[in-house]
Chain A
């Protein structure tokens, strides 16, 4: 497990211990990886972060098109492996959580402990700063910066 922000580690460790996911990725909406568990290669983190952020953005647009209320959680259930992708409301701006889990745990368990982690993160977060605009160039730069910190290259 690697974290950029130290205060994220406690809630994430609790989630990993209780829900037994295979992989967990927490990132900001601009693609900065805040913490990861289970990833061995920076390339995988980069792909997962970009795809996760893209799926969230396109799903949000779809709900706007359909006139539905905003959603928070997206679940893809596979035969052997499932994914949960969810917004994490934080004081500064929404973060995104990506969880990959297998048949050794259950969707209900992952969702329950994910919500608990969200509450713990919100409680532990430092005082809010004014939000800033997210640009594509920032996404790439911040993603690369966080990958260097997480994987040391």
Chain B
């Protein structure tokens, strides 16, 4: 089993990233987390799992296959979610100043390491 905390820590060192949460995809509960700020990780886990379910369903309807990575950009930041083999998801919450391309690259790299 890889050191999950060591995999998540570099994600929160990216500028503006507020937290990284590894979660169970089917249950929507936190497996482990690294937080730069006090975010509601339980809420992030629950709603990220729900969102991933719906986007996966949409992707399947459109014939795009399984979800790999999901980016949601809002006024005050973004949420990036990557699927991790073994019924897991890795989510990061960013601020508006976060370089999203770098965050996405590191997220996918971390997801591979967890797997």
Contact = CB atoms under 8 A, between A and B. Distances in A.
Interface string B21-32: 001101111100
Contacts of A106: 26-28, 46, 49-50, 53
A59 interface: no
Interface in A98-153: 105-109, 111-113, 115
B65 interface: no
Contacts, number: 38
A115 B40 CA distance: 12
Chain B: interface size category: 10 to 19
Interface in A68-122: 77, 105-109, 111-113, 115
A107 B53 CA distance: 14
Nearest to B24: A108
A111 B42 contact: yes
Interface in B47-65: 47, 49-50, 53
Nearest to A113: B46
A14 to B, nearest CB: 14
B18 to A, nearest CB: 18
Contacts of B114: none
B10 interface: no
A108 B89 CA distance: 13
Contacts of A77: 27
Contact of A109 (B30, B40, B50): B50
B43 A112 contact: yes
6 contacts: A105-B50, A108-B24, A108-B30, A109-B49, A111-B46, A112-B47
Query: Nearest 8 A-B pairs (CB), nearest first?
Result: A108-B28, A108-B46, A106-B28, A112-B46, A108-B29, A109-B46, A107-B27, A112-B43
Interface of A: 77, 105-109, 111-113, 115
